[in-house]
């Protein structure tokens, strides 16, 4: 067993983790990052093509932070925690500049000085800085430059399996070194959990393979509360072919007309005024309905048509995507691309306070792993802003707390128990392969707990999830090696995914209304009288208990038909 | 759907004394990617097949392999009806198509890959020379897939004297940053930049069209006055 001690332990290697580690290191404490993959090669941030929302000195006339606040809360159907949104809009602009101070460079207008700004659905003004179509990668470069400069310790290829606690607070974590197969016992004064979302819960996802909800399940197990887990965002236009590209973002809504297999431009039925420019949730539901009712294409999607543009337009507006089209044999000037909704983002996560600290003392949670900022639906470009703000807040608070307290002892026997699972899986001769179980889970969630839900579909899913959960105990591997065993990782991740699946399904069943990304065909309207509330989930023994808590409406209330 | 055939160089150092080729059948569909093929084999034929991948769309740089003799990202390359897949050259093989990229990742630690600058500008956002920013942007597209390293003939013979094209592209990002104040020529020299023979092989295998050879030339003219 490998023992390791640090002041602040950051679990996760995406942008929110790097930001938290960077900030914490400014406060004179020892910081360690532990990553499931390799630095700058794992996490979801490296895939982010978008931009960072923030109203700074560069804003357009008429724009303001109040307006960014309003856009965000309206976009979230008033289920956002408003004090967190206020922090987001007030603190994101300076962090956008701070990233430039440490090496990022945002796209500028012709004068070489003012930022080029993007606008996307839900924002009132162009207010989002970017670099080409790889803003996330640029953020990672700048942040990891600082991580190296500051000699922040990185344990890569190490998967965390359990958080450790004494009676009063978090005391560290147990992991498995995926290179050596060795158990790693990490003692820490404070822990920042930042494992991203769980897109791999669904058949189609834009997320990388490692996004398996580890952080949700770890926090739940440690006694923290999850909140808003029923709100899962589906981007309407994901690739369906080739298979490995399945779910990756395939086209942009404002450049396509959508057709079903009867040649009908079906959005005319669902939103005759805005058509494809309707909101993401509506378009996703329309596509899902067309396919379900037998009007889909051969791969289970609908057809995105871009042939009406003048030649050269698509190549100019989406250079990276255009290259992908060519690779897969699509000429957007004459062919139609088959697309379907794809799991893109989890609005829910761990419930946190203004320092992004959970209800477990010393356990902080940042980025997509946390809940509260986005409410029932996330506005585009707010995710990258959130990772900066939450990372900076949590990094600072976790470092300050760590400086005040001592290291608590941990029991090495706990570490042994946590990694026993891996040993059992490796030695089991016959059973179900993790990839088989994973595919079943993803299909089940896609069919019953995705874009359109009902009491019947959700109850059915809960029953099937129980069965899948029991099959976790009979997972067996083809490859018996302890070194770099992807199959072993998949098997362990399946435990996390199954827990998250239950949380999403339970909360979705209880919320008898439709709001933001959560749509119940048996309760198709929003119900502000009954449901201006969060659902929180806690684990008690082996049971998940759900509670209703009020929403923070400190600044604005949903009067005036804003929903 | 047609019959496809793929031959893969297999090697598991825990049990095999040497590498050997194995051939698998797969259902070939026009337009499918090489990653589709290895995933099909992993899921349906042989669960012990080892390879790396993460993002599925050329951002993580992990799924590089030699496809019919040419390095490429498996997620990015279309499959052929008949293919040979081998691990990247110039790397230690961990198992099958999985190689140890860390031996190159670690070499970056001494390169000071961060912005070196004394003072924060008085006004933000600051004015930046847009022409300089162009080169900075291009080299910043590198995802360190190391396709270029695997095909580089200089790396093959001078692994320890030459950092390789990918590492030099990481350095170039800072060398081309109009705000950076460090003279990176010293590190460029000690990284063996003068060993590059400008054969241009790396230009042909970069999935993000960075043209490492061209940028190495730019670095050499910036620091050593070469034309």
Binned at pLDDT 50, 70 and 90, residue A20 comes out as very high
Query: Is residue A561's pLDDT more than 60?
Result: no
Shortest CA distance to B154 belongs to which of B212, B108, B115?
B212
Question: pLDDT for A489-535, tens place per residue?
Answer: 999 999 999 999 999 999 999 999 999 999 999 999 999 999 999 99
Query: Is residue A302's pLDDT more than 90?
Result: yes
Query: Is residue A192's pLDDT more than 50?
Result: yes
Of the listed ranges A18-22, A258-262, A285-289, B129-133, the least confidently predicted one is B129-133
Chain B residues in contact with A38 (beta carbon < 8 A): 62, 101-102, 105
CA–CA separation, A245 and A557 (whole Å): 42
CA A24 to chain centre: 23
Helix A434-448 to helix A486-510 angle (10° resolution) is 20
A419 vs A446, more confident: A446
CB B78 within 8 A of CB B31: yes
Q: Please state the φ and ψ torsions of residue A190, each to the nearest 5 degrees.
A: -135, 155
Chain A residues in contact with B42 (beta carbon < 8 A): 435
ipTM over 0.90? The verdict is yes
Helix A486-510 to helix A412-427 angle (10° resolution) is 110
CB-based burial, A88-119: b 16+ in 10 Å, e otherwise: bbebbbbbbbbbbbbbbbbbbeeebeebbbbb
Question: pLDDT for A120-135, tens place per residue?
Answer: 778 999 999 999 888 9
Of the listed ranges A412-416, A424-428, A487-491, the least confidently predicted one is A412-416
Query: Is residue A320's pLDDT more than 80?
Result: no
> What rounded mean pLDDT belongs to chain B?
95
Question: pLDDT for A324-371, tens place per residue?
Answer: 888 888 999 999 999 999 999 999 999 999 999 999 999 999 999 999
Of B47, B54, B140, which has the smallest distance from its Cβ to A141's Cβ? B140
* CB pair distance less than 8 Å for B125 and A46: no
B47 vs A48, more confident: B47
B213, containing H or E segment: helix B212-224
In chain A, which among 288-347 make CB contacts under 8 A with chain B? 324, 327-329
In chain B, which among 18-37 make CB contacts under 8 A with chain A? 29-33, 35-36
User: Looking at chain B, which residue has its C-alpha nearest residue A110?
Assistant: B130
> What rounded mean pLDDT belongs to chain A?
95
Paired tokens of B208: 């993000």
How far apart are the two ends of chain B, measured CA to CA in Å?
53
Binned at pLDDT 50, 70 and 90, residue A291 comes out as very high
Binned at pLDDT 50, 70 and 90, residue A409 comes out as confident
Chain A residues in contact with B35 (beta carbon < 8 A): 242, 244
Across A203-217, average pLDDT: 97
Q: What is the pLDDT of residue A563?
A: 43
Q: Which of B59, B72, B139, B144 would best serve as a mutation to test chain A binding (most A beta carbons within 10 A)?
A: B59
CA–CA separation, A72 and B85 (whole Å): 48
B226 touches chain A (CB under 8 A): no
Paired tokens of B126: 């600051």
Across A80-99, average pLDDT: 98
Phi-psi region of A142 (alpha: psi -120 to 50; beta: other; left: phi over 0): alpha
Put the strands of the sheet holding A257-259 in their side by side order: A232-239, A336-346, A302-305, A257-259
Of B48, B125, B174, which has the smallest distance from its Cβ to A478's Cβ? B48
Query: Is residue A64's pLDDT more than 80?
Result: yes
CA–CA separation, B90 and B157 (whole Å): 9
pTM of the full structure = 0.96
Chain B residues in contact with A49 (beta carbon < 8 A): none
CA–CA separation, A33 and A157 (whole Å): 11
Across B60-74, average pLDDT: 97
* CB pair distance less than 8 Å for A112 and B130: yes
Place of tokens 């001769």: A429
Of the listed ranges A6-10, A404-408, B196-200, the least confidently predicted one is A404-408
Binned at pLDDT 50, 70 and 90, residue B1 comes out as low
B95 touches chain A (CB under 8 A): yes
Of A108, A137, A146, which has the smallest distance from its Cβ to B128's Cβ? A108
* CB pair distance less than 8 Å for B114 and A102: yes
User: Looking at chain A, which residue has its C-alpha nearest residue B119?
Assistant: A101
Q: What is the pLDDT of residue A560?
A: 53
The radius of gyration of chain B from alpha carbons, rounded to an integer in Å, stands at 20
Q: Please state the φ and ψ torsions of residue A12, each to the nearest 5 degrees.
A: 130, 145
Question: Residue A544 pairs with which residues in a beta bridge?
Answer: A539
Question: pLDDT for B122-147, tens place per residue?
Answer: 899 999 987 878 899 999 999 999 99
Question: pLDDT for B188-220, tens place per residue?
Answer: 999 999 999 999 999 999 999 999 999 999 999
B122 touches chain A (CB under 8 A): no
B208 touches chain A (CB under 8 A): no
Q: What is the pLDDT of residue B2?
A: 80
Q: Which of B54, B132, B207 would best serve as a mutation to test chain A binding (most A beta carbons within 10 A)?
A: B54
In chain A, which among 445-484 make CB contacts under 8 A with chain B? 477-479, 481, 483-484
* CB pair distance less than 8 Å for B47 and A138: no
Q: Report the sign of the C-alpha dihedral through residues B53, B59, B64, B70, in that order.
A: positive
DSSP string across A138-201: HHHHHHHHHHHHTT-EEE-SEEEEEEEE-SSSEEEEEEEETTT--EEEEEEEEEEE-----GGG
Q: What is the pLDDT of residue A264?
A: 97
Query: Is residue A219's pLDDT more than 60?
Result: yes
Q: Which of B4, B101, B114, B123 would best serve as a mutation to test chain A binding (most A beta carbons within 10 A)?
A: B114
B105 touches chain A (CB under 8 A): yes
Residue B194 three-state SS: helix
CB-based burial, B130-158: b 16+ in 10 Å, e otherwise: beebebbbbbbbbbbbbbbbbbbebbeee
Query: Is residue B24's pLDDT more than 90?
Result: yes
């Amino acid at each position: 067993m490998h023992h390791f001690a640090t002041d602040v332990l950051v679990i996760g290697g995406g942008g929110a983790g790097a930001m938290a580690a960077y900030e914490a290191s400014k406060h004179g404490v020892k910081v360690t990052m532990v990553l499931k993959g390799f630095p700058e090669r794992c996490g979801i941030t490296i895939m982010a093509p978008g931009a960072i929302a923030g109203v700074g000195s560069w804003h357009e006339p008429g724009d303001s932070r109040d307006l960014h606040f309003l856009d965000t809360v309206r976009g979230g159907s008033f289920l956002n925690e408003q004090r967190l949104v206020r922090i987001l809009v007030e603190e994101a602009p300076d962090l956008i500049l701070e990233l430039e101070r440490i090496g990022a460079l945002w796209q500028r207008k012709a004068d070489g000085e003012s930022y080029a700004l993007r606008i996307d659905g839900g924002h009132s003004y162009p207010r989002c800085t970017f670099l080409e179509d790889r803003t996330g990668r640029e953020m990672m470069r700048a942040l990891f430059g600082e991580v190296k400069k500051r000699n922040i310790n990185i344990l890569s290829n190490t998967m965390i399996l359990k958080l450790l606690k004494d009676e009063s607070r978090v005391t560290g974590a147990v992991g498995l070194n995926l290179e050596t197969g060795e158990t790693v016992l990490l003692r820490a004064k404070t822990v920042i959990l930042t494992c991203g979302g769980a897109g791999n819960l669904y058949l189609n996802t834009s997320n990388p393979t490692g996004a398996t909800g580890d952080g949700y399940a770890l926090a739940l197990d440690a006694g923290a509360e999850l909140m808003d887990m029923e709100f899962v965002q589906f981007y309407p236009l994901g690739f369906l072919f080739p298979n490995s590209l399945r779910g990756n973002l395939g086209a942009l809504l404002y450049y396509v007309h959508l057709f079903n297999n009867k040649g009908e431009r079906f959005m005319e039925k669902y939103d005759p005024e805005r058509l494809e420019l309707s909101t993401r949730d509506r378009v996703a539901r329309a596509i899902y309905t067309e396919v379900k009712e037998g009007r889909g294409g051969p791969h289970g999607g609908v057809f995105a048509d871009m042939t009406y543009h003048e030649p050269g337009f698509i190549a100019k507006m989406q250079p990276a995507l255009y290259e992908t089209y060519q690779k897969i044999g699509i000429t957007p000037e004459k062919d139609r691309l088959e697309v379907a909704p794809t799991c893109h983002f989890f609005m829910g996560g761990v419930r946190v306070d203004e320092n992004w600290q959970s209800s477990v003392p010393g356990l902080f949670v940042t980025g997509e792993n946390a809940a509260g900022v986005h409410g029932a639906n996330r506005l585009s470009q707010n995710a990258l802003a959130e990772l900066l703000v939450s990372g900076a807040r949590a990094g600072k608070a976790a470092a300050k707390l760590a400086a005040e307290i001592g290291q608590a002892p941990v029991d090495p026997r706990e570490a042994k128990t946590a990694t026993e699972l891996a040993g059992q899986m490796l030695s089991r001769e016959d059973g179900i392969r993790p990839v088989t179980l994973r595919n079943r889970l993803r299909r089940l969630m896609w069919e019953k707990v995705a874009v359109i839900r009902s009491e019947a579909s959700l109850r059915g899913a809960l029953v099937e999830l129980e069965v899948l959960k029991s099959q976790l105990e009979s997972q067996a591997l083809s490859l018996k090696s302890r070194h770099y065993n992807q199959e072993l990782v998949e098997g362990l991740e399946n435990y996390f995914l199954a827990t998250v699946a239950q949380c999403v399904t339970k909360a979705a069943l209880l919320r008898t209304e439709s709001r933001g990304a959560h749509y119940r065909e048996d309760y198709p309207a929003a119900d502000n009288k009954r449901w201006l509330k969060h659902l929180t989930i806690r684990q008690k023994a082996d049971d998940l208990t759900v509670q209703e808590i009020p929403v923070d409406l400190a600044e604005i209330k949903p009067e005036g038909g804003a929903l | 759907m047609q019959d496809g055939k793929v031959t893969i160089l297999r090697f598991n150092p825990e049990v095999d004394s040497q590498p050997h080729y194995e051939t698998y059948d797969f259902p070939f569909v026009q337009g499918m990617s090489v990653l589709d093929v290895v995933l099909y084999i992993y899921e349906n034929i042989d669960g012990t097949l080892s390879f790396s991948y993460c993002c599925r769309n050329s951002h993580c740089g992990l799924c590089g392999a030699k496809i019919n003799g040419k390095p490429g990202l498996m997620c990015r390359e279309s499959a052929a009806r008949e293919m040979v897949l081998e691990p990247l050259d110039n790397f230690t093989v961990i198992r099958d198509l999985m190689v140890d990229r860390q031996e190159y990742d670690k070499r970056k630690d001494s390169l000071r890959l961060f912005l070196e600058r004394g003072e924060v500008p008085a006004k933000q956002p600051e004015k930046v020379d847009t022409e300089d920013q162009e080169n900075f942007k291009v080299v910043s597209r590198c995802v360190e897939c190391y396709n270029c390293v695997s095909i580089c003939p200089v790396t093959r013979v001078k692994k320890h004297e030459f950092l390789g094209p990918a590492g030099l592209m990481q350095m170039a990002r800072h060398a081309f940053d109009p705000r950076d104040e460090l003279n990176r020529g010293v590190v460029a020299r000690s990284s063996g930049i003068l060993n590059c023979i400008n054969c241009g092989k790396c230009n042909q295998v970069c999935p993000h069209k960075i043209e490492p050879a061209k940028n190495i030339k730019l670095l050499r003219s910036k620091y050593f006055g070469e034309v």
